[in-house]
Structure 1
Amino acid sequence: MSTLPPGHPVVPAQPCPHHDGATPRLLYAARHGQSTVNAGIRPATPAEADDMAIELTELGARQAVALGRWFAALPPEQLPDSVLCSPYRRAAATWQLAEAELRAAGVTVPCRVTEPNLYDRFRGALSHIPADEVRQRYPEQYAAERADPLGYRPPGGESFLDVADRLAGVVDRIVADTRHRRVLIVAHDAVILLLRRLLEHLDDTATLAVAAAGLAGNASVTAWAQDADDYDYRLLYYDRRDHLPDR
């Protein structure tokens, strides 16, 4: 069973037609559609527990289609021209279904690359174990996480602050990108939470407040605009779900 994605380079899915001169002005982050684990289906085998291989549910596929239709309906000046996608199957499948809707609508499809540092937070030995079960089976680990929610690192896994550290390089590359003005990240709820921390300069208290209010839902959209003067990002909306099917 793989634990972390292979350290492959960021490789464009197709040649990029864009040219130097652009500076990112809009940044979107979409969470993948509902996965089997999100639906409460516990992995039955080591292969099913491989985080990279977890699939979308039927609802997750419908959510991905709805996500694509939402993007296809945006004005051209708001449509992403670049997509950075998590290497996990559920994220890649979400964008594949969404991209098909853009093609069907005759909308220009963004450049796409697989970004290895956009994978979900890895919980190591506690992967796929619900919190109540962790409390019963591993009370010391449960207490340690309660005492330090952002800094706690499960055995063999990573903390939320570890996720923020690897995302910092992704943000730096987006800011330095001179080809694309509107970038979409397709990834996971932990990634979106830590993007908010980095882009909005949230401290620990503010980060935990966002998490307590609710993490980004499946196939939801979060967006930031970049200020032209100081290049900081300001939040436009978080966890937008009005495009999604009820069931």
Structure 2
Amino acid sequence: MQRLEWLAVVRHGLSTGNVTAQEAETAGLESIDIPERDADVPLAPEGREQAEAVGRFLKENPPDLAVVSPYLRTRQTAEIALGDSGVPVVVDERLRDRELGVLDLLTARGVQARLPEEARRRERLGKFYYRPPGGESWADVLLRLRALLREIREDHPGARVVLFAHEATVLMIRYLTEKLSEAELMELAHRTAIANCSISSWRGTEPELFNSVAHLRREDAPHTRQEDVNAEPV
């Protein structure tokens, strides 16, 4: 199989939906009041600032190609981060966020209160294989990501590629790149909250960064591999 010289994945910047969802969870509400469809949720002002910080990182680590989720918040993140760099951009629907089906716009409390049978089914099947009605399991998302990565490697051997995607996508790219087991992926998901505009990267097959936010703290901060062990479930 062809290899890339460098692969990075950036979670989109803080979105208005992220803010509203956190407020709903904190307030103990059952539903999340987001007016847009998921694909149309934009960046919050802080998210735009985070994307600018990613741009500074990419100036020091220039990619040959950017592949971007079609969702508005990821496209905005990529547009701000790449600026006038001239990096070719491909929008690919296989990088879209996981589709939640009947669980969409429900908080954790809302799922328990309104869909208790689904909550029990999810508990029995586990996060990897549980597919909400009208939605996707993690295994479903991995099928499209696996195909995308294979295509990128075949079409751009030896290239430096950055992906702009979503929270769960970052974890799944690591699963595929490092050939993790289901148990290892679920343990990682349990203890790691993927930060907005964090960067995870690999040189060839060697891990380099994971969930790094050093570039968000200050412009000249060192970039080191790190994990957030005070994690919220994905």
TM range, normalised to the smaller chain? 0.7 to 0.9
Given residue 220 of structure 1, which amino acid in structure 2 is its aligned partner? S
- Residue 146 (structure 1) shift: 2.1
Verify: 1:43 aligned to 2:20, yes or no.
no
Partner of 1:171: 149
Following the alignment from structure 2 to structure 1, what is the Cα–Cα distance between the partners of residues 156 and 116? 49
Following the alignment from structure 1 to structure 2, what is the Cα–Cα distance between the partners of residues 149 and 178? 33
Q: Which one of 118, 124, 139 corresponds to residue 101 of structure 2? A: 124
After TM superposition, the runs of 4+ consecutive aligned structure 1 residues lying more than 6 A away are none
Following the alignment from structure 2 to structure 1, what is the Cα–Cα distance between the partners of residues 89 and 95? 14
Q: Which one of 50, 58, 66 corresponds to residue 83 of structure 1? A: 66
Residue pairs, 1:96-135, within 5 angstroms: 96-100=79-83, 103=84, 108-135=85-112
Partner of 1:204: 182
- Residue 245 (structure 1) shift: 5.0
Following the alignment from structure 2 to structure 1, what is the Cα–Cα distance between the partners of residues 199 and 68? 14
Partner of 1:18: none
Partner of 2:54: 67
Secondary structure class of the residue paired with 1:92:
helix
Following the alignment from structure 1 to structure 2, what is the Cα–Cα distance between the partners of residues 80 and 175? 14
Secondary structure class of the residue paired with 2:109:
helix
Following the alignment from structure 1 to structure 2, what is the Cα–Cα distance between the partners of residues 70 and 89? 22
Structure 1 gap ranges (5+): 1-21, 227-232
Partner of 1:182: 160
Q: Is the 8 A contact 1:63 1:245 kept in 2?
A: no
Structure 2 gap ranges (5+): 22-31, 219-234
Partner of 2:43: 56
Following the alignment from structure 2 to structure 1, what is the Cα–Cα distance between the partners of residues 209 and 174? 11
More helix by share: 2
- Residue 178 (structure 1) shift: 3.5
Following the alignment from structure 1 to structure 2, what is the Cα–Cα distance between the partners of residues 241 and 109? 25
Scaled by the length of structure 2, the TM-score of the pair is 0.83
Secondary structure class of the residue paired with 2:4:
coil
Identity across the alignment (%): 32
Following the alignment from structure 1 to structure 2, what is the Cα–Cα distance between the partners of residues 139 and 35? 29
Given residue 127 of structure 1, which amino acid in structure 2 is its aligned partner? D
- Residue 213 (structure 1) shift: 1.6
- Residue 30 (structure 1) shift: 0.2
- Residue by residue over 1:198-223, the C-alpha shift from the partner in whole angstroms, topping out at 9 and shown as x without a partner, is 11111111000110121321000000
Alpha-carbon RMSD across the aligned residues, in angstroms, is 1.7
- Residue by residue over 1:67-90, the C-alpha shift from the partner in whole angstroms, topping out at 9 and shown as x without a partner, is 111211x1xxx4211000000000
Scaled by the length of structure 1, the TM-score of the pair is 0.79
Cα 1:202–1:146, aligned 2, differ >3 Å: closer, same or farther?
same
Given residue 112 of structure 1, which amino acid in structure 2 is its aligned partner? V
Which stretch shifts more, 28-37 or 208-217?
208-217
